[in-house]
Amino acid sequence: MNSRQRMLAALYSQPLDRPPVWFMRQAGRTLPEYRALRQKHDFLSVMKQPELTCEVTLQPLRRFDLDAAILFSDILNIPEAMGQTLSYPPGGPRLGPVIETFEDVVALRPVVPQRDLAYVGESLGILRRELGDDKALLGFAGAPFTLACYMVEGAGTRRFSKIKPFLTCQPKAAALLLERLADVVIAHLRYQLESGADAVQLFDTWAGELSAHDYARFVQPINERILAEVSEVGPVLLYLRNGSHLFEQSLDCAARGFALDWRVDLAAAAKRLRGLEHAPCLQGNLDPITLFAPPPEIRDAVKAMHQAVAGNCGHIMNLGHGLVPDTPLAGIEAFVQAVLDLDTAL
C-alpha cells in the first residue's frame, strides 16, 4: 500500500497497514528552507507563482516520510478574489475595505476559480505530475463563517466584536455574505479536486467561537451545503477548531471525515463514529505543542492516539491545529517515525 492508497483508504475507513500521516501547515514557516525562500519572495508571490508554490509544497516531503502533500496557499485568496485588498504586515493579514453593510456585500465581485484563482489549479496540476501515484495531494479552503470573520473584522481578532453583531443586527447582509461565500468555496474546492487534489479540507477555524445554537442557526446549513456539493466530486474533511461542543450535531453531513483539535476526546469520538452508515474517518488530534516534548513522549502520544481510534473508524494521523513556526524539526521527525512504526491501524 503506497501513501496515496493509504490516505484514500483511511478516508473511507477501509483496512490499512498503518494510519497515513501529514501535518496541517506542514508546507511553510516551520522549515528553514522555506524561510530562506521567503527572504527572496513575499508571501503573495509564493502563493500565486506556481513554481514557488510547488517548491514550498514539496519541501516537507523531502525532509519527512509523509503520506500527503498539502497545497501551499491561504484561505484569504477568496476574499481577495471577491474584491478586498489583502496584505500581510507584521501581526497578521489585513483586508479592506471591511464589510459593514448589505450594499458592501452586493458589491463583492463574483468569482470564477478557473479565471480568478487559476494559479491554484495550475499549481495542483504540476504537483499531481510531480507526486505521481505514490503520494496523496490535498487542497483546502476556508469556510464561509471563518472567511466572513476576516472580511468584517478586517483582520484576525480575539473578540469577534464586529462579526457577531453583524450576524444578529444585519441578518440579511450576513445571510447574503455567507451564501455568496459558500458559492465561491464550493466552486473553488471542486476546482481543486478537478485539478488533481485527492481530497480537500474545509477549515472553519473560528466555528468554535459560536455557541452550538448560533452555529446551527447561522453556519451549519451553509457548511452542510458545501460538504454535500463538493463531495459529489471528491472527499472532504471538515475541521471545526475549538468545536468539541459542535461535534455531535455535525455528524449528519456529507463530510468524509472530521479533523479534530486536541479538546475533543479522540476515543469517544471514534466510538461515536463506529457503525455510522457512511463510515466517516477521524483526523488528528495531537496538541501541536506536544512536538516540543522529548521524542519518547511524542511516541507515547502517537501510540495513545492509535489505540484510541483502532477498531472504530479510519484514522489520519495529524495535529489538532497547524505546526507552529518554532516547532523543533526533531519533534516532527519523532512524530512521523512513530506513525511509521505502527504495524496495524484497524
Structural domain contains residue 185: yes
Rounded to whole angstroms, the Cα distance separating 118 from 127 reads 14
Helices (H) and strands (E) in the chain, counts: 16, 9
- Check 25, 180, 225, 241 and give the catalytic one: 25
Establish whether 25 is a catalytic residue: yes
Rounded to whole angstroms, the Cα distance separating 266 from 286 reads 10
Establish whether 29 is a catalytic residue: yes
Whether a cis peptide bond, with omega within 30° of 0, leads into 242 is no
Residue 241 · residue 261 · CB < 8 Å:
yes
- Check 18, 34, 74, 256 and give the catalytic one: 74
pLDDT at 24 over 70: yes
The mean pLDDT of 324-345, rounded to a whole number, is 92
Establish whether 38 is a catalytic residue: yes
Residue from 53, 172, 182 nearest 121 by CA: 53
Structural domain contains residue 107: yes
Establish whether 150 is a catalytic residue: yes
Give CA angle at 313 (73, 204), nearest 5°.
Answer: 30
Structural domain contains residue 144: yes
Residue 166 · residue 173 · CB < 8 Å:
yes
Establish whether 74 is a catalytic residue: yes
pLDDT for 346 equals 37
The mean pLDDT of 106-135, rounded to a whole number, is 98
The mean pLDDT of 104-125, rounded to a whole number, is 98
The residue with cell 479522540 is 266
Structural domain contains residue 345: no
- Check 12, 38, 217, 265 and give the catalytic one: 38
What DSSP designation does 238 have? E
Structural domain contains residue 67: yes
Structural domain contains residue 309: yes
Structural domain contains residue 240: yes
Rounded to whole angstroms, the Cα distance separating 16 from 73 reads 30
- Check 12, 17, 29, 299 and give the catalytic one: 29
Structural domain contains residue 346: no
- Structural domain for 83, as ranges: 3-340
Domain containing 334 — which CATH number?
Answer: 3.20.20.210
The tens digit of pLDDT for each residue in 58-114 reads 999 999 999 999 999 999 999 999 999 999 999 999 999 999 999 999 999 999 999
Residue 234 · residue 255 · CB < 8 Å:
no
Q: How many domains does the chain have?
A: 1
Residue from 66, 53, 63, 73 nearest 20 by CA: 66
- Residue 232's pLDDT band (cuts 50, 70, 90): very high
Global pTM value: 0.97
Percent of residues, the chain, with pLDDT higher than 90: 97
